[in-house]
Amino acid sequence: MRLYLLRHGEAEAPRTNDARRALTEHGRAEVRASAALLAGIPLQAILASPYLRTQQTAELAATQLGYRGVIESADWLTPDSDLRDALERLNERSEDELLLVTHQPLVGALGGLLVHGHRQQPLPMGTASLAILGGDLALAGGMQLVSLNHPQV
């Protein structure tokens, strides 16, 4: 299994409704740079938090990659989602090539748990950072960090 963890690109400044924050132009450029690293990957599914900035990130990545499937909205990928729930939901999936588009602190904590087996060492995920994990099962400590990329735009 290959798991691709993509944090949303730079978004507008915080406001009353965090879920409605859109990507900035810089954030769009960041996403395009990270998505380019996935060229040629036969993604079987894209799951994204329902927040606007992650939906926009997923759409940009899908367009750039020529992904023709549906982008699934997953409420378990929001910034403060329960890590155990996210891990359980992830293990219900059967895809071999899966892209998750989400937020900090969840994305760093999830990546760290999958790679290190504990929560004390989250992956450092800046805006539009892309972590590629590989392994047989998405279990705590059961995956290896293949690469961690931070867009340079």
**What is the pTM for the complete model shown?**
0.97
- Residue 39 phi/psi, 5-degree rounding, is -55, 130
Report the C-alpha gap between 50 and 10 in whole angstroms: 16
pLDDT over 70 for what percent of the chain?
100
Q: Which residue has the tokens 């059961």?
A: 142
- Distance CA(83)–CA(30), nearest Å, equals 26
**Residue 16 pLDDT exceeds 90:** no
Q: Note whether 84 and 135 are within 8 A (CB).
A: no
Please write the tens of the pLDDT for every residue from 85-102: 999 999 999 999 999 999
DSSP class of residue 38 equals: T
User: What are the backbone angles phi and psi of residue 99, rounded to the nearest 5°?
Assistant: -105, 125
Q: Is the model's pLDDT at 15 over the cut of 80?
A: no
